[in-house]
């Protein structure tokens, strides 16, 4: 099976794993106020989709823009997880797993953005 360029990126794999964790645990935040579940889902999807979109551009400026958007979305996911945790909906092990993986995505994307500024 042919692979798209984004499928070979480590950051995409980690972001996809985060999306899977949020899907697997969607019942935990389904009833939280403020449309938190929808926002968390949308931000996780945006993280994955923006990484894929960025990898398809030849222009460094366009790549940078997509990777910056993906980074912002990853930060949004983490903020949603923290709000869900305030409601008591996120066990410590899940919070730690998401925080660790999101920090990896954030760091990788920050590096990718920086390299496209040069």
pLDDT at 56 over 90: yes
Instruction: List phi, psi (to 5°) of 108.
Output: -65, -45
pLDDT at 37: 97
Residue 78 to residue 115: CA distance in whole angstroms: 24
pLDDT at 74: 98
Residue 105 to residue 114: CA distance in whole angstroms: 14
Q: Residues 9-14: what's their mean pLDDT? A: 97
The whole-model pTM stands at: 0.94
pLDDT at 116: 85
The mean predicted confidence, pLDDT, of the chain is 95
Q: Residues 59-82: what's their mean pLDDT? A: 96
For residues 12 and 6, the answer to whether their CB atoms sit within 8 Å is yes
Predicted confidence (pLDDT) per residue in 86-105, tens digit = 999 999 999 999 999 999 99
């Amino acid at each position: 099976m042919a692979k798209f360029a984004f499928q070979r990126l480590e950051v995409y794999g980690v972001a996809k794993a985060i999306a899977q964790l949020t899907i697997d645990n969607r019942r935990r935040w389904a009833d939280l106020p403020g449309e938190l579940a929808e926002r968390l889902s949308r931000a996780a999807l945006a993280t994955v989709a923006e990484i894929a979109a960025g990898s398809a551009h030849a222009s460094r400026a366009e790549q940078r823009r997509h990777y910056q958007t993906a980074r912002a979305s990853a930060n949004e996911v983490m903020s949603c997880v923290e709000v869900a945790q305030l409601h008591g909906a996120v066990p410590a092990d899940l919070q730690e797993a998401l925080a660790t993986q999101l920090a990896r995505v954030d760091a990788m994307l920050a590096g990718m953005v920086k390299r496209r500024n040069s």
